[in-house]
Amino acid sequence: LEVLNVESNRFNDTFPSWLSSLPELQVLVLRSNAFHGPIHQTRFSKLRIIDISHNRFNGTLPSDFFLIWTAMHSIGKDGDQSSNGKYMSTRSYYFDSMVLMNKGIAMELVRILTIYTALDFSENEFEGVIPSSVGLLKELHVLNLSGNAFTGHIPSSMGNLSSLESLDLSKNKLTGEIPQELGNLSYLSYMNFSHNQLVGLVPGGTQFRTQPCSSFKDNPGLYGPSLDEVCVDIHGSTSQPSEMSKEEQEDGQEVIISWIAAAIGFLPGIAFGFTMGYIMVSYKPEWFINPFGGTKRRRISTTRR
């Protein structure tokens, strides 16, 4: 038995570890059932596609969980496959069709290449850190761990997944930075880090600059040129723009204070001038008339005599 697909049934059981006794099993699809409980380390030496998404599996995955998944380490190691797919024969395809999540879209795949590798643990209840041994799966094309409760940092060992095309880590509780090593994965055309607690500089590289804004949504601590190119105001501003904004605000406040000071000095002067004018016209006070106007009035009256 090479392919086992029981998706979209009502199976309610723990993980069928006994399947590891099937020496030729290469494709295992358990998605959309009611499987539950933890998954213990199981030897799948030839497994190349595993989809256990949309179940209720839980618990943690040991750090060496993927250590013995040797078929995903290097295709062609067993000598029955061509690692580069150059010489295709009828045996190079699985004739079973299946639905797999690839690049954020559920696709029905028909006649899948036997060198194709995918791992989908999405929409379960896994917790704890992502095993660092995931970096051993160098031939992996699709990795989907979204919709769980994984915590801790994204393993930098993911930078070893040189064949990876699609990476979905969204809707977890991941912290820390996105490993800069991911910026070197030339085949990585789809990625989703949204709805986590990631911070720090987003890696450079064309792959990150071509992602939609939604791939980084709800990670307020992320920043960097790559993010600035693909989205605006999706998260908090970077530290440098914040400092510039603060300086501009301080300059504006200084200008306002200067105008207020000028107004404080100018308005009382005007008020005093109007007050004195009103007094002169209405009351003609002697304390002002005598020094400035009294002498002239006496001269006029003497001349008339």
Give the start-end residues of each E strand in the chain: 3-5, 27-29, 36-37, 49-51, 56-59, 93-94, 98-102, 105-109, 112-113, 118-120, 125-129, 142-144, 149-152, 166-168, 173-176, 190-192, 197-201, 221-223
- Cα–Cα distance for residue pair 228/208, rounded to 1 Å: 11
Task: Give per-residue pLDDT as tens, 203-237.
Answer: 988 889 889 999 999 999 999 888 887 776 444 44
- Residues 49-103: tens digit of each pLDDT: 999 999 999 999 988 899 988 899 875 544 344 444 433 344 688 878 788 888 8
Answer whether residue 222 is part of any domain.
Answer: no
Cα-based angle 108, 110, 115 (whole degrees, multiple of 5)? 110
Summarised one tens digit per residue, pLDDT across range 24-59 is 999 999 999 999 999 987 888 899 999 999 999 999
Residues 119 and 250 reside in one and the same domain: no
Residue 218 in domain: no
Whether the CB-CB separation of 12 and 33 falls below 8 Å is answered with: yes
Is residue 151 within 8 Å of residue 173, measured between CB atoms?
A: yes
The kind and range of the H/E element at 301 are helix 286-304
Same-domain pairing of 86 and 184: yes
Cα–Cα distances (Å) from 95 to 21, 110, 145, in that order, read: 23, 7, 27
Residue 23 and residue 150 in one domain: yes
pLDDT score recorded for residue 93: 82
Provide the domain limits for residue 273. Answer: 242-304
Q: How many domains does the chain have?
A: 2
Determine the residue type at 141.
H
The CATH number of whichever domain residue 129 belongs to comes to 3.80.10.10
Same domain, 144 and 32: yes
How does pLDDT run across 230-259, given as a tens digit for each residue?
A: 776 444 443 344 444 445 555 556 555 555
| Single residue among 167, 197, 227 that ends a domain in this structure | 197
The pLDDT, as a whole number, for residue 240 is: 40
Query: Within this chain, do residues 191 and 79 fall inside the same structural domain, yes or no?
Result: yes
The structure tokens listed for 50 are: 């595993």
Q: What angle do CA 17, 20, 22 make, to 5 degrees?
A: 130
Please tell me the predicted confidence (pLDDT) of residue 231. 78
Asked if residue 159 and residue 251 are part of one domain, the reply reads no
| Residue where a domain stops, chosen among 175, 197, 219 | 197
Q: Are residues 7 and 117 in the same domain?
A: yes
Instruction: Determine the pLDDT at residue 90.
Output: 47
Identify which has the larger pLDDT, 14 or 235: 14
Q: Is the pLDDT of residue 161 over 70?
A: yes
Q: How many Å separate Cα 300 from the centre of its chain?
A: 94
pTM: 0.73
Please tell me the least confidently modeled range out of 19-23, 38-42, 68-72, 283-287.
Answer: 283-287
- Whether residue 216 is contained in a domain is answered as no
Of 197, 228, 260, which residue constitutes the final position of a domain?
197
Residues 97, 13 share a domain: yes
11 lies in the same domain as 121: yes
User: Does 76 fall in a domain?
Assistant: yes
Q: Does residue 231 sit within a domain? A: no
User: What pLDDT is attached to residue 146?
Assistant: 98
What's the mean pLDDT when you consider all of the chain? 79
- Bridge-based pairing of strands 93-94 and 112-113 is antiparallel
First to last CA, the chain: 143
| Structural domain includes residue 99 | yes
253 and 182 in one domain?
no
The pLDDT value recorded for residue 230 is 76
Same domain, 103 and 188: yes
Q: Where are the alpha helices (DSSP H) in the chain?
A: 206-209, 225-230, 239-283, 286-304
Rounded percentage of the chain residues whose pLDDT exceeds 90:
49
Asked, for residue 179, whether it belongs to a domain, the answer is: yes
Asked if residue 174 is part of any domain, the answer here is yes
Beta bridge partners of 138: none
